[in-house]
Structure 1
């Protein structure tokens, strides 16, 4: 550090001029920004309504709908897919074996157990996951439980069976076969 006050003043003025030069280089100036530099504010040209519809009227119709009405429900989704397909009764995934899909038996026949690439009712199985089966046309079948002739749910398993025989361990929130539950999931009450 210079001991002379004149040298200090000269050094202070030089530092100030350097700071001013850096500031002027960073601030944008009017006119053409030059090649390789971008303007700070981009302008978007106005566009015509591409659909040719009155946006204000469409917005008014949408806003007039009741958002939380009790009768406002999503459309029903068919759980079993097309009507001609048999019901998917279950899937077998894991255990070192290729995945299999078990379909409901028709009549007194044995239930068909199929693997990937096999066909049923004119559709080929493309993928089998723990949550369902994907067919060649993109339809996803989910396992559904059988109901009785009167529409009642199937009978409950006999009392006294261990938990591993009465619940599916892959279902979230269900007890695991050897005790405990999945981390972060409480068992049902």
Structure 2
């Protein structure tokens, strides 16, 4: 299961790429809230952004068009665009970024901890993900995070996937409206300068 957390300067969701059959993930919010979802499901919910602006290619409608290649949340690649129609999910429909979507994966980064190191404090892991995803965000978007129209959402390992040696952090971005609801967009954020 993945738990989510949202906060103003660095917004993200936790998840690590792992074998779906072996383990689940958890997400945490700034005020962690336990979930009762199956351990192999990922949880995605909106998180606040560095800016309240939105681009002309964005529309405040939930979800994508529902058409795309069904992909495990554990198999996302850089450049994958997708929407999440529920808070608990195991797969997403990856679509061409020119189609309507909510999220875009912009980096996959391995945590520096070795295989024999214990699961870090959840807050420590989330702060690490915040820090490690910001430089590739700025390179990908070609704009600084604090004044960008995009929000960072990270997927980090759960305690179970960590025990299996998983260390990958998936960095994604999205847009949100003034009520912090996800905004569906078309086109890639890569090189957008926003």
- Calculate the TM-score normalised by the size of structure 1: 0.24
Structure richer in strand, relative to its length: 2
Question: Which one scores higher on RCO, CA 8 angstroms, separation ≥ 6?
Answer: 2
